[in-house]
Homo-oligomer: A and B are copies of this chain.
Amino acid sequence: MSSAKNPSAEAAVLRANATFYRAFTRGDFPVMSALWAQHAPVTCFHPGSTLIRGRQNVLSAWRQIIAEPAPFEMRCDHATVQLYGSTALVTCYEGNGEQAAHLAATNVFVLESGEWRMVHHQAGPLARPLSAATLAASSLN
């Protein structure tokens, strides 16, 4: 299992990750649907919830969640990528609009038909909201 750096793949994964939060913010279901893997198995843990398994179930839940676009940006702070061949792991913090980030998230992508597509998402609460200033001042940045 290679862990060699691959800047162009990392950039492509970060673009896919940004697409996820943009679709969430805009309530753009077609983009959200296209982002999730078509063939590879998919799962999702929404905060506090039990596992949702399978493309149809995962997207049905997202359709409900984004039916009303959020009145703020679903922000993803400090997204970082780890590449494992044709699988990529993104970790980040999620916040609403200008508010401090309140969730920690793991997003997993696989390379499918030449595109990085999402196969798993877990978000869970941070014990203390994490402001941009805290992030900038910490070793996290």
Contact = CB atoms under 8 A, between A and B. Distances in A.
Interface of A: 1, 3, 37, 39-41, 43, 45, 47-51, 53, 80, 82, 84-87, 89, 91, 93, 104, 106, 108, 110-112, 119-120, 122-128, 130, 138, 140
A125 B40 CA distance: 27
Contacts of A108: 89, 108
A89 B119 contact: yes
B43 A86 contact: no
Contacts of A104: 45, 49-51, 122, 124
Q: Which of A39, A45, A48, A106 has most B Cβ within 10 Å?
A: A106
B84 A86 contact: yes
